[in-house]
Amino acid sequence: MIRIELWADVVCAWAYIGKRRVEAALRGREGEVEVVWRPFRIDPMTPAEAAPLAEVLQGPLVDAALQQCAPGLSAAENRVRVSEIAAAEGLGPRWGAAWRASSHDAHRLIALAYEHGGARLQDAVVEVVLRAHFVEGLDISLAETLDGVAGAAGFSEGGPLLRAGGGDAAVRELLLRGKAIGVTTSPTLVVHGEALVGAHAPEVIAEFVARAAEVAPRVLPAEVERFRHAETLLDKGDPLGCLSLLQPLMDAYEKDQNVRLLAARAYFRSAQLGRARTTLEALVAEVPDDAYARLMLGRVLERQGLGEEAAPHLRIASAMDPSLTRPAVR
Per-residue pLDDT in tens (0 to 9) along the chain, 330 residues: 899 999 999 999 999 999 999 999 999 888 889 999 999 999 888 888 898 887 766 666 666 666 666 666 666 676 777 888 888 888 877 888 999 999 999 999 999 999 999 999 999 999 999 999 999 999 999 999 999 999 999 999 999 999 999 999 999 999 999 999 999 999 999 999 999 999 999 999 999 999 988 887 788 899 999 999 999 999 999 999 999 999 999 999 999 999 999 999 999 999 999 999 999 999 999 999 999 999 999 999 999 999 999 999 999 999 998 887 655 455
Write down the pLDDT at residue 85: 87
d(CA 253, CA 105): 32
d(CA 286, CA 256): 11
CA distance readout (Å), 178 to 84, 203, 226, 233, 274: 30, 25, 12, 10, 30
**Helix intervals (H) in 135-192:** 143-152, 158-163, 168-180
Q: Is the dihedral of CA 165, 122, 151, 128 positive or negative?
A: positive
Write down the pLDDT at residue 99: 92
Write down the pLDDT at residue 51: 87
What's the number of CA atoms in the CB half-sphere (13 Å) around residue 19? 25
Measure the CA angle with vertex 232, ends 108 and 209; round to 5°. Answer: 65
- 255 secondary structure, DSSP code: T
Write down the pLDDT at residue 59: 60
Task: List all residues 6 or more positions away from 18 whose beta carbon is below 8 Å from its beta carbon.
Answer: 6, 8, 187, 189, 198, 199
CA distance readout (Å), 52 to 14, 97, 272: 20, 9, 40
Residue 3: is it exposed, middle or buried by C-beta count within 10 angstroms (0-12/13-18/19+)?
A: middle
Write down the pLDDT at residue 211: 92
What's the number of CA atoms in the CB half-sphere (13 Å) around residue 130? 23
Write down the pLDDT at residue 192: 92
Q: Is the dihedral of CA 104, 109, 115, 118 positive or negative?
A: negative
- 5 secondary structure, DSSP code: E
Write down the pLDDT at residue 83: 82
d(CA 23, CA 35): 9
Q: Compute how many other C-beta atoms are within 10 angstroms of the C-beta atom of residue 212.
A: 19
Write down the pLDDT at residue 213: 86
Write down the pLDDT at residue 323: 82
Write down the pLDDT at residue 322: 84
How big, in percent rounded to 5, are the helix, strand and coil portions of the chain?
60, 10, 30
Pairing label, strands 2-8, 33-39: parallel
d(CA 232, CA 31): 34
Q: Which domains does the chain have, with CATH numbers?
A: 2-213 (3.40.30.10), 222-324 (1.25.40.10)
d(CA 137, CA 101): 11
pTM score, two decimals?
0.90
- 324 secondary structure, DSSP code: G
